[in-house]
């Protein structure tokens, strides 16, 4: 039995693949790698974080622009959330089916940009005036994380 090297590189992610295929778009190595990475991440990651994490492996690093496009596509397809962190840099997180990150709150460090999950549930959503289209809402807690607080006393 003979399998091409290429096909083997996509095999280990059946759930990822079908989630992407379900959107009607093409399943590509870039999309699979990035989406899988977001699924395994501890918190929301920015473009830079992801570039670094991807460049570690054996596979050829994907193009900067392709990564931007993959991330925006994941967000547009509803597979990821996109939101600016406290420094104004966009961060992406997998849109888990159980909506875990949507239920609890997060702390955003204004120094390093880090996002930390807090074990507290979100306040309930408010009603909006006529004409406003709600996309997302969360309690946004900003400050300095323990790590950065140590460096800047």
Q: Mark residues 24-63: x for contact with DNA by CB under 7 A, - for none.
A: -xxxxxxx--------------xxx-----------x-xx
Cβ distance to a second copy smaller for residue 12 or 143 = 143
Cα 105 to Cα 46, 100, 121, 140: the distances in Å are 19, 10, 6, 8
Q: How far apart are CA 34 and CA 32, in angstroms?
A: 6
Residue 83 CA to residue 76 CA, distance in Å, equals 12
In the bound state with DNA, the residue whose beta carbon lies nearer, of 28 and 39, is 28
Q: What is the 3-state secondary structure (H, E, C) of 83-113?
A: EECCCCCEEEEECCCCCHHHHEEEEEECCCC
36 vs 145 by CB, closer to Zn ion: 145
- Is 70 one of the binding residues for DNA (CB under 7 A)? yes
Signed CA dihedral, 60, 61, 64, 70: sign only = positive
Alpha carbon distance 96, 118 (integer Å):
17
Candidates 112, 116, 117, 122: give the one binding Zn ion (CB under 5 A). 112
CB 86 within 8 A of CB 142: yes
In whole angstroms, the minimum distance from the beta carbon of 78 to a second copy comes to 15
Binding site for Mn ion (CB under 5 A): 88, 101, 117
Binding site for DNA (CB under 7 A): 6, 21, 25-31, 46-48, 60, 62-66, 68-70, 72-73, 84, 88-90
Binding site for a second copy (CB under 8 A): 83-90, 105, 107, 110, 116, 118, 120, 123, 126, 128-146, 149
């Amino acid at each position: 039995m003979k399998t091409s090297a290429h096909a083997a590189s996509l095999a280990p992610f059946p759930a990822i693949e079908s989630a992407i295929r379900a959107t009607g778009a093409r399943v590509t190595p870039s999309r699979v790698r990035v989406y899988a990475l977001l699924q395994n991440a501890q918190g929301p990651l920015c473009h830079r974080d992801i570039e670094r994490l991807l460049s570690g492996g054996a596979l050829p690093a994907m193009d900067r622009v392709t990564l931007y496009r993959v991330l925006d596509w994941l967000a547009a397809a509803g597979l990821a959330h996109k939101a600016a962190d406290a420094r104004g840099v966009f961060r992406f997180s997998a849109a888990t089916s159980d909506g875990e990150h949507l239920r609890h709150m997060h702390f955003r460090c204004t120094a390093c940009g880090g996002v930390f999950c807090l074990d507290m549930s979100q306040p309930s959503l408010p009603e909006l005036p006529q004409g406003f289209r709600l996309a997302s809402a969360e309690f946004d807690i900003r400050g300095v994380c323990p790590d950065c607080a140590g460096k800047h006393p």
